[in-house]
Structure 1
Amino acid sequence: MTVLRRSLPSPFGCRWCGIARRSHGRQWIASQGWHAWEQPTNAQILARMRARRAAPKES
């Protein structure tokens, strides 16, 4: 299975769901329930950046 960059969360997206701050609003996910945007941890940012670099580009 190939994971494209666009399907990965933004490095600075919400800590819980990965959605960008400007389009987040209130979101619901099973593990967190209803939540507002929350800053990701430094470890999450680094892991997301590495995953995006490793993913193949769209053609």
Structure 2
Amino acid sequence: MTPSPNGCRHCGLDLREHMQRWKTGTGWHKWTPPTQDQIKTRMRARRAARTRKET
């Protein structure tokens, strides 16, 4: 599953679901906004996944 474009920079979870999470390599972290490059990459991945399902 592709993370939400506006999901956390470190783990991809949405702000409402996040609270405080653990991720290997990052450790305990709070929700952090994604970079513009992450948003763009996630949007492209979601579009590609949607296109594969339609085919």
TM-score of the alignment, normalized to the shorter chain, above 0.5: yes
- TM score, norm. by length of structure 2: 0.89
- As a proportion of its length, which structure holds more helix? 2
4+ aligned runs moved over 3 Å, structure 1: none
- TM score, norm. by length of structure 1: 0.83
**Number of residue pairs matched?**
52
Partner of 1:44: 38
| 1:13-52 pair list within 5 angstroms | 13-52=7-46
Cα drift, residue 31 of structure 1:
1.1
- Calculate percent identity across the aligned residue pairs: 56
Over aligned residue pairs, what C-alpha RMSD do you find?
Answer: 1.3
Q: Which runs of 5+ in 2 are unaligned?
A: none
Q: Which runs of 5+ in 1 are unaligned?
A: 1-6
- As a proportion of its length, which structure holds more strand? 2
